[in-house]
Amino acid sequence: MQPTPSTDATVHTLIIDTDPGADDVIALLFAMAAPERLRIEALTTVAGNVPLAKTSRNARLACEWAGRPEIPVYAGAERPLRRTPIYAANIHGKEGLTGVDVHEPAGPLADGHAVDYLVRTLRAAPEKSVTLAMLGPQTNLALALEQAPDIVRGLRELVLMAGAHFNGGNITPVAEFNVFADPHAAEAVLLKSGVPITMLPLDVTHKILTSDERVARLRGLGNRAGAIVADILDAYAPQEMKHYDMPGGPVHDATVTAYLLQPSLFKGRRIHVEVDSREGMGFGQTVADWYGSLHRTPNVNWIVDGDAQGFFDLLTEHIARLP
């Protein structure tokens, strides 16, 4: 199935599946600041950076900080399909958020499981109408597809922060965290869903980096959201810069929001991608056939490059609209 190409003017009916996570919260604030382009139906949460109770609380906090308490948050999978759960508290802190204090948000969780919500909503949706942004391990969608394969009918496109090829991995030499945290789920989504997929792997997120000037502009906005984003980045970026010897820190998941709003900022290629889900050194690797050596049907629009200044301009412009 060929994707209906999204443009810089596309209005998305959107569900965001997420495991907040420092960069997830920035991606969520960014998306919630664009109601004219991104009609967010719900957030669904998954265990990933930290356990589910904390990712669900942090997603509700993001709604509160964005002044969007009406967006429902459904809690989903508490653990990956088959592998032992792993978390990334070493990067995101034990509360899943660096640089800011967390509290119990006023807004409650929505009733019901995220997987049931996905099944019910995608079944009822007009054909190819819902974009699903995925910012964490892909467990919820894999479970929904297993339960109700017919839900693909309602999906327009999946846009994932996931995977690594040219860059190498960030949790093993070859694996990126979201895929490594649940490779069996990633495999189900990539190989069985048949839905148009765009992936923003480390290949691009490690090219879109913070700088003192970029963070200062966010802080200088003078609103609460600008201070939150700047505080998160000031705490999150230095550890990444040190580990990878990079001049700035990545804002991985926020590239998904930027792609939805302005795909012309990014460059990629439709290629065939598979996931290695066998135990061993390659566990969780995305095997990306960039040169078409395998002559297999492309299943992913694999993004490798992006306009870093364009990304930070778009992010800053949107964060400025929030409380």
- Find the residue with minimal CB distance to ligand BDR: 177
Which residue in 6, 14, 17, 24 binds Ca ion (CB under 5 A)? 24
Nearer to ligand BDR, 29 or 119 (CB): 29
CA atoms within 13 A on the CB side of 142: 21
- Nearer CB in complex with ligand BDR: 151/209: 209
Name the one range near Ca ion by CB under 5 A: 92-100, 107-115, 242-250, 251-259: 251-259
Does 201 participate in binding Ca ion (rule CB under 5 A)?
A: no
Q: Verify binding: residue 240, Ca ion, rule CB under 5 A.
A: no
Q: How far is the CB of 222 from ligand BDR (least distance, A)?
A: 27
**CB of 126: closest distance to ligand BDR in angstroms?**
29
Residue placing its CB nearer to Ca ion in the complex, 182 or 253: 253
Beta carbon of residue 8, minimum distance to ligand BDR (angstroms, whole number) = 24
User: Which one, 1 or 89, has the nearer CB to Ca ion?
Assistant: 89
Q: Which does 193 bind (CB under 5 to 8 A by kind): ligand BDR, Ca ion, none?
A: none
Q: Report the alpha-carbon distance of residue 173 to residue 318 in Å, rounded.
A: 35
Least gap, CB of 138 to ligand BDR (angstroms): 11
Which of ligand BDR, Ca ion, none does residue 88 bind to, with CB < 5 to 8 Å depending on kind?
A: ligand BDR
Say if residues 187 and 277 touch (Cβ distance below 8 Å). Answer: yes
- Of the pair 225, 232, the CB lying nearest ligand BDR is at 232
| Residue ranges in contact with ligand BDR by CB under 6 A | 21, 23-24, 49, 88, 91, 135-136, 161, 170, 176-178, 252-253
Q: How many angstroms separate the first and last alpha carbons of the chain?
A: 41
Which residues inside 116-175 make contact with Ca ion, applying CB under 5 A?
A: 135-136
Q: For residue 268, is it left (φ>0), alpha (ψ between -120 and 50) or beta? A: beta
As beta bridge partners, residue 175 has 285
Rounded least distance, CB 302 to ligand BDR, Å: 15
Shortest Cβ 207–ligand BDR spacing (Å) = 14
- Secondary structure of residue 308 in the 3-state scheme: helix
Q: What is the rounded CA–CA span in Å between residue 31 and residue 257?
A: 6
CA distances from 92 to 72, 240, 286 (A): 24, 11, 23
DSSP E strand stretches across 138-265: 155-161, 197-200
Active-site entry in 92, 165, 184, 252: 252
- Tell me which of ligand BDR, Ca ion, none is bound by residue 46, counting a contact when its beta carbon lies within the kind-specific cut-off of 5 to 8 angstroms: none
45 within 8 A of 75, measured Cβ to Cβ = yes
318 catalytic? Reply is no
Query: What stretch of H or E contains 75?
Result: strand 73-75
| Bridge partners, residue 157, by sequence | 131
**Among all chains, which residue has been given the structure tokens 């390659």?**
282
Partner whose binding site includes residue 177, from ligand BDR, Ca ion, none (CB under 5 to 8 Å by kind):
ligand BDR
Contact status, residue 131 vs residue 174, Cβ threshold 8 Å:
no
- Residue 165 burial (CB count, 10 A): 22
Element (H, E) at 207: none
What sign results for the dihedral spanned by CA atoms 65, 69, 72, 74?
A: positive
3-state secondary structure of 197: strand
The residue among 72 and 93 lying less far from ligand BDR, judged by its C-beta, is 93
Binding region for Ca ion (CB under 5 A): 19, 21, 24, 135-136, 253
Give catalytic residues, as residue numbers.
Answer: 252
